[in-house]
Structure 1
Amino acid sequence: MESKRKLYIIEILGILLGLLWLAPFYLMIVNAFKTKKEIFMGVLGLPEQLRTENFVEAFIDLDFMQSLFNSVLITGVSVAIIIFFSSMAGYALARNKSKLSGAILLLFVSAMLIPFQSVMIPLVSLFGMVDMLNQAGLIFMYLGFGSSLSIFLYHGAMTGISTTLDEAATIDGANKFQTFTRIIFPLLKPISVTVGILNVIWIWNDYLLPSLILNENNATIPLKMFYFFGQYTKQWHLALAGLTIAIIPVIVGYFFAQKQIIEGVSEGAVK
């Protein structure tokens, strides 16, 4: 009886916590369908009628398709490059047992402690000198900032893979690159999913670095939302409609990738 009572209390607390997390989404979606007058009259109530024209106007003013393309391009290319190079670096450092490899790994781990704000001004100045304040430069910066944690995770995962696989591949005539790409990398799928999720969340939602590098024509969705809110400071019905449109790609992306995400996390937990 006591255990059931505790279970009921936990369920009630879980429901209350879930409602607390969903409250901002409710306010955003409900007020996105209202007029500006209705929002000022009350933000909690339902709209008198669903004003879909708010979304049409916000979609056009956001230049949503171009912003979506910029975000997908920068995030996809950055994450793919981070996974490719970080996995190779983690493999090389894990298989090389010298003191130098240990020092290099320590250097990568130490780099995670450096705050971006302390290097952003000289970094932007340096990239401005070589004319790389564009999408390619931004992707290159993401590779640098995202590699430290990714290499650390890959290095930890590599310690659980036996070196006998490398030896068997070498006996069969494979070189180091073939051994990694055909034997080792497929075994790193769980940690690759984890690295991908962490970097996608970070890069997709990043505002500060794109705001320093990109212009308005190449703006990502978070950067475009900043311009949008600046343009419609008092027109909250349009701003909230634009914000609702901006989160749709994330929801759709998770809907299609949830199987891979759950499998990767589950396999990583079991391993």
Structure 2
Amino acid sequence: MKKRIGKILTIIISIIVGIIFISPFYLVLTNSFKTQRGIFTNVVGLPGKFATLKNYGEAFVQLDFIHSCINSLLITVISVIIIVIFTSMAGWMLVRTKSKFSTFLFFLFAAAMLVPFQAVMLPLIKIMGSAHLLNPVGLIFMYLGFGTSLSIILYHGFIKGIPMEIEEAAVIDGCNKFQVFWYVVFPLLKPITVTVSILNTMWIWNDFLLPQLVINETRWHTIPLKMFYFFGQYSKKWHLALAGLVIAMIPIIVFYFFAQKHIVKGIAQGSIK
């Protein structure tokens, strides 16, 4: 009887938690089909006589979606590739180099995750401005810095499970360190590389604050930056903003659904090993 009651309570709590998590998506989706008047008339109701598809067409144009999507794609893809290359090599060297200094470096990267972005935001922008790097190149460089800690920790945990004998055999066959990593080790890192790529892609694609501080030229604005222009000083175009938000979510949701199975797999393997 107690097991049955516990099971029922678990189901009820799961349903309540599910509703809480789904409710923001419901509000965004339903209100994206309403006019501005329809949103203020009934926020939680389904689109009725105020339903319209014009919001999506207008939001698509105002977002300059194709151009801003290309900007977001370029910055995200280049940043993720650079993060994967540098952090995979760093994680490998920290695991294979047995010294107090390598241990110190690893814990230093782990401790860096505790530093909030807001604490270094203004000094960082001042330094990057003096170096004339307030542009997409500087933004990618900063993404490398902020994405390094978590990526190295994930790679570090995964690489510990790779037998050293595989690398020793490659060295005996005549491989140098560079060849050992790229031809032997890196192919074995595929599960965790996919996980690192997904986590960083979702973070960089949705990031607003750092691009707003760094990118000054309109031609390089990403989708999150374009979304900001729906909110003026004296008026807020909620109907267009919500429609634009749905459009902006579609690429990353499609990407996530195709890659979601690798997230849990990679994190689980990295944490266990």
What is the TM-score of this pair, normalised by structure 2? 0.90
SS of equivalent to 2:52: coil
Q: Specify whether residues 110 and 21 from structure 1 end up closer, same or farther in structure 2 by C-alpha distance, changes over 3 A only.
A: closer
Residue number in structure 2 paired with 1:197: 198
Amino acid at match of 2:260: Q
- Match for residue 222 of structure 2 among 194, 201, 220: 220
Q: What are the ranges of 5 or more consecutive residues in structure 1 without an aligned counterpart? A: none
What displacement does 1:48 show?
A: 2.3
Q: Provide, for residues 29-48 of structure 1, a one-character-per-residue CA deviation record: whole Å limited to 9, x for no partner.
A: 11111122222221122222
Q: How does 1:120-139 map to 2 (within 5 A)?
A: 120-139=121-140
RMSD over aligned Cα atoms: 2.2
Amino acid at match of 2:159: M
Q: Is the 8 A contact 1:190 1:268 kept in 2?
A: no
Residue number in structure 1 paired with 2:187: 186
- Aligned partners of 2:153 and 2:12: how far apart in 1? 39
- Match for residue 258 of structure 2 among 249, 256, 267: 256
- Aligned partners of 1:24 and 1:193: how far apart in 2? 28
Residue number in structure 1 paired with 2:7: 7
Q: Is the 8 A contact 2:198 2:259 kept in 1?
A: no
Are residue 173 (structure 1) and residue 142 (structure 2) matched?
A: no
What displacement does 1:65 show?
A: 1.4
Q: Provide, for residues 109-156 of structure 1, a one-character-per-residue CA deviation record: whole Å limited to 9, x for no partner.
A: 332233222222222222222222111110011111111222222222
Range that drifts further, 72-81 or 234-243: 234-243
- Aligned partners of 1:19 and 1:251: how far apart in 2? 19
What displacement does 1:196 show?
A: 2.1
Q: How does 1:96-111 map to 2 (within 5 A)?
A: 96-111=97-112
SS of equivalent to 2:47: coil
Are residue 32 (structure 1) and residue 32 (structure 2) matched?
A: yes
Q: What are the ranges of 5 or more consecutive residues in structure 2 without an aligned counterpart? A: none
What displacement does 1:200 show?
A: 2.0
Range that drifts further, 57-66 or 223-232: 223-232
What displacement does 1:197 show?
A: 2.8
SS of equivalent to 1:132: coil
- Aligned partners of 1:236 and 1:113: how far apart in 2? 35
% identical equivalent positions: 56
Amino acid at match of 1:212: L
Residue number in structure 2 paired with 1:236: 238
Amino acid at match of 1:122: P
Q: How does 1:66-145 map to 2 (within 5 A)?
A: 66-145=67-146
Range that drifts further, 86-95 or 200-209: 200-209
SS of equivalent to 1:230: coil
SS of equivalent to 2:82: helix
Range that drifts further, 200-209 or 101-110: 101-110
Residue number in structure 1 paired with 2:210: 209
What is the TM-score of this pair, normalised by structure 1? 0.90
What displacement does 1:229 show?
A: 2.4
Q: Is the 8 A contact 1:35 1:51 kept in 2?
A: yes
Q: Is the 8 A contact 1:90 1:154 kept in 2?
A: yes
- Aligned partners of 1:194 and 1:240: how far apart in 2? 29
Equivalent residue pairs, number: 271
What displacement does 1:9 show?
A: 2.2
What displacement does 1:255 show?
A: 2.6
- Aligned partners of 2:119 and 2:45: how far apart in 1? 45
What displacement does 1:209 show?
A: 0.9
What displacement does 1:179 show?
A: 0.8
What displacement does 1:207 show?
A: 1.4
